[in-house]
């Protein structure tokens, strides 16, 4: 006897739309940068755990992911604490400010996760193509050519300039946050974070080790010299990364710093002039310290205007969807107009 099943019916009408809307509400209570952070954070966290387990089980890879699991445990605890604070004191100015800056912290965690896992996920390296492209464009490898300028003092200065990225990236947004210029703050934050996330996606698609790991036989001079503050700090930071790190293309040092600089020109003209020499020094340091191919910087400079153009549109679209669902948008969610300050 054949059992006849009723045909599959796709429900339509107001009731179905209401159910679909109710399912979307939790998602749209978040901000777009928070959704993007989760979209990267969850899979990269999983892959970091898998990579750690694999490395320890095989043994031959050694400690490729130093502190990876401890780092994740600390961040998960902090995120849990943030969720608790938001649940109980969501209207507190301190908690609201913490929520504004938390996506920057998530970016750092995702970045370290990607260092741990890119080579584990995608083994189709492109760094040899990047090196060849550099040589085709310039007739030489700029990172190798720059070694003629090496001195211990200059290396120390370059290490200092390179490390400045960690405050350069959020600096324009934080100045605007301190001034409570919410619309501009939202525009800058969205641009910086979207630039990060697009860059992370390209890291996975185009795994590339930096020149310092690929061109070891091309360099004839060592960057190491007299032990000093910034060189020592930089060396300790890079000890936390796997020896086969894959996160060179595009240069987010170039991309994100350019986003911060452009927005400083638009909204904080005095800050632009303070920021400019540090950004230029940062770009030079990426080549001098052998962290990037020049085409990495070119790709980063191309990525920045794309992020600047897309971010306010994404933020405005998200705010409209929140409004249609009866959810209050983030402060200043609509894009800001350039103004001189």
Number of folded domains that form the chain: 1
Tell me, yes or no, whether 235 lies in a domain. yes
The verdict on residue 332 lying in a domain is no
Locate 271 and state its tokens.
Answer: 């800050």
pTM > 0.95: no
Quick check: is 17 in a domain?
no
Asked whether residue 23 is assigned to any structural domain, the reply reads no
Residue 340 lies in a domain: no
Contacts of 141 (CB under 8 A, 6+ apart): 131, 134, 135, 211, 215, 218, 293
pLDDT tens, residue order, the chain (341 aa): 555 555 545 555 555 555 555 677 778 877 888 888 888 877 877 777 777 777 677 665 544 555 556 666 766 776 677 667 666 766 777 777 777 777 777 777 777 777 667 777 888 899 999 999 999 999 999 999 999 998 888 888 998 999 899 899 999 999 998 898 988 998 999 999 999 999 999 998 999 999 998 998 898 888 875 566 555 655 555 555 555 677 889 999 999 999 999 999 999 999 999 999 999 999 999 999 999 999 999 999 999 999 999 999 998 888 888 888 877 776 666 555 555 56
Six token digits for residue 212: 């310092």
Domain hosting 264: range is 29-324
Residue 1 is assigned to a structural domain of this protein: no
């Amino acid at each position: 006897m054949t059992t006849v099943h009723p045909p599959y019916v796709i429900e339509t009408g107001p009731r179905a739309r209401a159910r679909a809307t109710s399912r979307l509400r939790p998602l749209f209570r978040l901000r777009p940068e928070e959704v993007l952070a989760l979209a990267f954070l969850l899979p990269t966290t999983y892959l970091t755990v898998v990579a750690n387990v694999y490395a320890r089980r095989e043994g031959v890879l050694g400690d490729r992911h130093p502190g990876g699991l401890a780092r994740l445990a600390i961040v998960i605890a902090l995120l849990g604490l943030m969720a608790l604070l938001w649940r109980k004191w969501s209207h507190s100015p301190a908690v609201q400010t913490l929520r504004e800056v938390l996506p920057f912290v998530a970016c750092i965690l995702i970045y370290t996760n990607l260092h741990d896992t890119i080579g584990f996920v995608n083994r189709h390296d492109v760094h040899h193509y990047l090196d060849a492209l550099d040589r085709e464009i310039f007739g030489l490898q700029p990172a190798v050519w720059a070694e003629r300028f090496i001195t211990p003092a200059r290396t120390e200065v370059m290490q200092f300039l390179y490390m400045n990225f960690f405050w350069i990236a959020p600096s324009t947004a934080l100045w605007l946050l301190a001034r409570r210029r919410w619309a501009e703050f939202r525009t800058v934050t969205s641009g910086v974070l979207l630039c990060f996330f697009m860059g992370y996606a390209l890291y996975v698609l185009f795994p590339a080790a930096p020149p310092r790991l690929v061109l070891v036989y091309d360099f004839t001079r060592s960057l190491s010299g007299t032990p000093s503050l910034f060189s020592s700090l930089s060396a300790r930071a890079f000890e936390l990364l796997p020896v086969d790190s894959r996160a060179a293309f595009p240069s987010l040092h170039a991309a994100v710093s350019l986003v911060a600089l452009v927005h400083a020109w638009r909204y904080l003209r005095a800050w632009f002039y303070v920021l400019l020499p540090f950004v230029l020094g940062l770009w030079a340091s990426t080549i001098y310290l052998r962290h990037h191919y020049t085409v990495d910087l070119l790709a980063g400079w191309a990525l920045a205007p794309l992020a600047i153009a897309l971010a306010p549109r994404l933020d405005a679209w998200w705010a409209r969807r929140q409004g249609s669902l009866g959810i209050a948008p983030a402060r200043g969610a609509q894009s800001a107009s350039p103004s001189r300050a």
